Structure 1
Amino acid sequence: MEQFNCIARGIVDPFWDAVNRQWGPDLSDVPRLLVVMRGLPGSGKTTLAETIAEYAGAKGATTMICSANHFFMHDGAFVFNGDDLGRAHEACYNRCLHGLSQARDQGPDIIIVDNTNLRNRDFEVYANLPHDPDWMEVVAFECAHNEQDAAMLLNRARDLGHMIPDRTWSMWLDIWEENATDERNTWIIPLQHFMGPP
């Protein structure tokens, strides 16, 4: 998706250009970029996270993607267990924190949190980490505005292995509509950018 490539460039280039301009070969004090995804399942967060990581890698930056979904990957398959959701998010948070706490010349340059972060309090966990990133970008995927778009998004999520009950989906839509706005540096991904084929 060309739109995601443009967003990846818009996120990575200013950060990486500043790193190269201000720090050059001295990697001992290079800043870290934290990218926090926000949006409903199936909206394109993982695709964009992978696009950012690929683009950053081509520029010479190292990345780490942190996702609660990684907890549910077994032999290459996504096997969700709702009873483990709290542990999955804790593992994601700890991985992110570990990446930020590593020595500057050893840890990743860019850490991407690829979770829904629908509630502001979920997002604030990453916005207020004990090890502050030097630079933070937030990517929010626009909420579906009608039943047809919501149904398409739910079907995409289910096609990706997220077996979300209709009632849960409806609740998540309501939560995201109430919490989607944030005044910080946020990239808003319009609905039409991610409603194409998964």
Structure 2
Amino acid sequence: MANKPLKLTLIRGLPGSGKSTLASTIDAVHLEADMYFVDKQGDYHYRADEIANAHRWCQQQTEYHLAKGSNVVVANTFVKQWEMQAYKELADKYQAALAVRVCSAAYPNIHGVSQDIIETMRANWED
């Protein structure tokens, strides 16, 4: 019996658009850069000066799980197209089918992102 091909799903959208909810319905390892800011007790402590490290961690975790043969779903804002590039390269490297899904609902965001920041993200959104 042949191995099923790997799948990497990227879910993009503004804060509160339903990314995490959608990701939780997909049978795959669920990763988000925001997970970097969750402590051992499960409390979220965002630090803007650590955002680059959070995204690097998310990419490293994605590669780790793809290398192990696991399907992965990554739910990040991905406002700009280039923000998905490292994941596209990982999909190529591990011959994983790549799917990109966009969420556009408007739920309260769980991380307290201000409406001003969300509006700036919306203005900078690249289809």
- Cα 1:41/1:133, change in 2 over 3 Å: farther
More helix by percentage: 1
1-structure distance, mates of 2:88, 2:124: 19
User: How many residues align structurally?
Assistant: 125
Deviation at 1:141, TM superposition (A): 1.7
Asked if 1:139 corresponds to 2:101, the answer is yes
Which aligned pairs between 1:1-80 and structure 2 lie closer than 5 A? 23=2, 29-53=3-27, 63-74=28-39, 75-80=41-46
Deviation at 1:125, TM superposition (A): 2.0
1-structure distance, mates of 2:77, 2:115: 17
RMSD value over aligned CA atoms?
1.9
Deviation at 1:167, TM superposition (A): 3.2
1-structure distance, mates of 2:95, 2:74: 12
Between 1 and 2, higher relative CO (CA 8 Å, sep ≥ 6) is seen in 2
1-structure distance, mates of 2:4, 2:26: 19
Map of 2:47 onto structure 1:
81
Unaligned runs of 5+ in 2: none
SS in 2 for 1:137: strand
Deviation at 1:134, TM superposition (A): 2.8
Normalised to the residue count of structure 1, the TM-score between the two structures is: 0.57
Normalised to the residue count of structure 2, the TM-score between the two structures is: 0.86
- The runs of at least 4 aligned residues of structure 1 exceeding 6 Å deviation read none
Map of 1:171 onto structure 2:
120
SS in 1 for 2:30: strand
State, as a whole percentage, how many aligned pairs show the same letter.
26
2-structure distance, mates of 1:45, 1:136: 17
Summarize deviations over 1:134-169 as a string: whole Å, max 9, x none: 311111123x7xxxxxxxx3x711xx1x23234322
2-structure distance, mates of 1:95, 1:137: 18
- Cα 1:44/1:133, change in 2 over 3 Å: farther
SS in 1 for 2:24: helix
The structure that has the greater radius of gyration is: 1
Unaligned runs of 5+ in 1: 1-21, 24-28, 54-62, 145-152, 181-198
What amino acid sits opposite 1:96 in the alignment? T
